[in-house]
Each structure stands twice: as structure tokens, then as C-alpha cells.
Amino acid sequence: MPVIAECLVDAERVLPALQEAREKLDGAGGELVLNFSAVRRLDVSALRAMEHLAVAADDKAVKVGLRGVNVEIYKVLKLVKLAPRFSFLT
């Protein structure tokens, strides 16, 4: 049974949480889930960190799932063409 790593993304600490998630990619066992239920918006630096996470996950063949993403964040990820790089979980 594959191990799935999960990270809670705190609204006040989005960047550190995304950096921590990148570090967990090696031990993710093929899948990493980020819980965005506490996050209401992303700034430019968070979007860059999301892009870096997606690239690192692709390099390590790890699927990244986003749980609890609100509509506004989804729309922003779609606009910057990052949405297809993640799976969205309920």
C-alpha cells in the first residue's frame, strides 16, 4: 500500500507550508496531498512556490492533490495554467 504524505497549509504560513511540502516529496511514496481549506487567497510568491512544487513533483513522479481549494483559488490556478498540474480533492 503506497504511503500518502499530507500537509496542512495554514493561511498565515502559505510559503513555508509549500516549501515543507516540496521537502516531503522524496518520502511521499507517489502522492502528496495539500489541505488548502484554511487558505482564502494566494499572492504572487505563493503562485511561484506552487509552480516550483509542481515542477519538483513532476521530476520525482509524485502526484500532488489539493484538498479544500475554494473557487477563487481554483480560478487563479486555472488562469496561470497551474490547475492541470494538480488534482483537486473533496
The whole-number pLDDT of residue 30 equals 85
72 close to 42: Cβ distance less than 8 angstroms: no
The whole-number pLDDT of residue 1 equals 44
Place of cell 483537486: 88
Give the domain range for residue 49. 4-89
For residue range 28-84, list pLDDT tens digits in order. Answer: 678 999 999 999 999 999 999 999 999 999 999 999 999 999 999 999 999 999 999
According to DSSP, the residues that pair with 34 across neighbouring strands are 7, 66
Place of cell 493561511: 11
Instruction: Write out the three cell numbers for 40.
Output: 482564502
What's the number of domains the chain is made of?
A: 1
Q: What is the CATH number of the domain that holds 17?
A: 3.30.750.24
The whole-number pLDDT of residue 7 equals 87
